[in-house]
Amino acid sequence: MKRLITLTVNDKKYEVAVEPNMTLVDLLRYELGLTGTKKGCEVGDCGSCTVIMDGNPVNSCLVLAVQANGRDILTIEGLETDEGLHPVQQAFVDKGAIQCGFCTSGMILSAKNLLDRNAKPDEAEVRMAISGNLCRCTGYQKIVEAIKSASGWREGSGKSHE
């Protein structure tokens, strides 16, 4: 039987009826049309389905939609503002950290979460923060460089997005 749930996604409230066996990633992609969140392995290995739930990045393929009832979700679509791309997004573009793009949403969300907690991470901390996000294209080097270059953004010129 379907259940009515309410959740906030990218600051917008949604009320949807979902089957208990629907995962959060399927709710986002197929019911809400937010296809920025990707689906790779579907079993927690790859991180392409990363979303931030109540402030913590998680694999949305392992969360049931009904478990997201009442929660606050941030997906890649929620990062851009009227001022433009989020500094982490911009850094990925500038540094050539995107190839096929399949890992990018998850990478950026994991990176944003890191920088929200630790404005000046060292390289080891950057690599640890994205260690649940697999990339088959870039070899990670440019991703790490992009995250490091974005790490000063809070002190930067009126570019704060929060």
Ligand X SMILES: Cc1cc2nc3c(=O)[nH]c(=O)nc-3n(C[C@H](O)[C@H](O)[C@H](O)COP(=O)(O)OP(=O)(O)OC[C@H]3O[C@@H](n4cnc5c(N)ncnc54)[C@H](O)[C@@H]3O)c2cc1C
Q: Which residues are at the interface with ligand X (CB under 6 A)?
A: 43-45
Residue 1 contact, options other proteins, ligand X, ligand FES, none, Cβ 5-8 Å cut-off depending on partner type? other proteins
Residue 135 contact, options ligand FES, ligand X, other proteins, none, Cβ 5-8 Å cut-off depending on partner type? ligand FES
Check residue 140 for interaction with ligand FES (CB under 6 A): no
C-alpha 11/C-alpha 152 separation (Å) is 25
Least distance from ligand FES to the Cβ atom of residue 22, Å: 14
Contacts to other proteins from residues 31-60, by CB under 8 A: 42-45, 47, 50, 53, 56-59
**Residue 91 CB burial class (10 angstroms; 0-12, 13-18, ≥19):** buried
Reduced to 3 states (helix: H, G, I; strand: E, B; else coil), residue 77 is helix
Residue 118 exposure: Cα atoms within 13 Å on the Cβ side: 14
Check residue 20 for interaction with ligand FES (CB under 6 A): no
27, 53 Cβ separation under 8 angstroms: no
* Residue whose C-beta lies closest to ligand X: 44
Task: Say how many residues touch ligand FES, by CB under 6 A.
Answer: 22
Give the tokens for residue 86: 């989020």
